[in-house]
Structure 1
Amino acid sequence: MQITPDIVTTLRPDEVFVFGSNARGRHGGGAARIAYERFGAVWGEGHGHHGQSYAIDTMSGLDVLEREARAFVVFAAEHPELRFLLTPVGCGIAGYAPEQVAGLFSGAPGNVAVPTSFVPYL
């Protein structure tokens, strides 16, 4: 199992920063702001792959987060040429605990690095 670094400041050309967003794609703080300022996240786009980032809506409820996580796992499997650095999505401003979120990413392919806080629950 690959582990996402605690702090991501640069990416290799084949890496994608996976972060929690809101549905409106207002990337004003936390990992979303980093994704917007450094890794190509698009203001106004709160879902999916943009530049070297991948947005997961964590602010619209756990059911939406679950759907978005499943879509991400499929996307990652379809793109084995990329390495995805999953941050602890949903565990910041959205207010979920790692044990509530980590399992949503079970079955992620080997090209997905996971945060240390998710490891006990996968």
Structure 2
Amino acid sequence: MKRYEYTPDMISELAPGEIFVFGSNLQGMHGGGAAYIACRKFGAVMGHGVGMQGQCYAIPTMHGGPDAIAPYVDEFIDYARDHPDLCFLVTRIGCGIAGFAVSQIAPLFARALEVDNIVLPRDFVQVLRG
């Protein structure tokens, strides 16, 4: 499996074992942004707004602020840690349609820096490492 330092800015295909991690909504209406790509290309399922589906993992970001998103990020990190055979490519969740700043979302992923099979966007890592 390919090793990444950061999540690529554009992901148009995935190798076996790579998982596209995207921001969703609780209803699983994957109509725009990375969620649309997840649905069209990587097996995200309409009506499923949380967790693994196809070659994707959905983290809801449209239902409240960072405190409401945090439990879903924690659940994701635990899932990734339990599945070391997969490589999770985290997109800039919450920083597109949901409208959050990287400085608001990146801290939710602090524990992810300790998980070898989670790859974060460059700007998330820059915020986390100062």
TM-score, scaled relative to structure 2: 0.91
Give the secondary structure class of the aligned counterpart of 1:106: helix
The CA distance in 2 between the partners of 1:31 and 1:93, in whole Å, is: 9
Q: CA RMSD in A?
A: 1.0
2:48 aligns with 45
Give the secondary structure class of the aligned counterpart of 2:59: strand
Deviations 1:45-82 (A, max 9, x none): 00000010000000011222111100000000000000
The CA distance in 2 between the partners of 1:2 and 1:54, in whole Å, is: 20
The CA distance in 1 between the partners of 2:69 and 2:20, in whole Å, is: 17
Deviations 1:11-41 (A, max 9, x none): 0110000000011000001100000001010
Alignment of 1:73-92 (within 5 A): 73-92=77-96
Gaps of 5+ in 1: none
Corresponding pairs, count: 122
Q: Which of residues 99, 107, 113 in structure 1 aligns to 2:119?
A: 113
Give the secondary structure class of the aligned counterpart of 1:107: helix
Percent of counterpart pairs with the same letter? 51
Gaps of 5+ in 2: none
The CA distance in 2 between the partners of 1:64 and 1:78, in whole Å, is: 23
Q: Which of residues 36, 39, 59 in structure 1 aligns to 2:62?
A: 59
AA matched with 1:112? I
1:33 aligns with 36
The CA distance in 2 between the partners of 1:121 and 1:66, in whole Å, is: 17
The CA distance in 1 between the partners of 2:80 and 2:67, in whole Å, is: 20
Indicate conservation of the 8 Å contact 1:83/1:112, yes or no. Answer: yes
**Displaced runs of 4 or more, over 3 A:** none
The CA distance in 2 between the partners of 1:111 and 1:64, in whole Å, is: 24
Give the secondary structure class of the aligned counterpart of 1:54: strand
TM-score, scaled relative to structure 1: 0.97
1:21 aligns with 2:24: yes
The CA distance in 2 between the partners of 1:115 and 1:85, in whole Å, is: 8
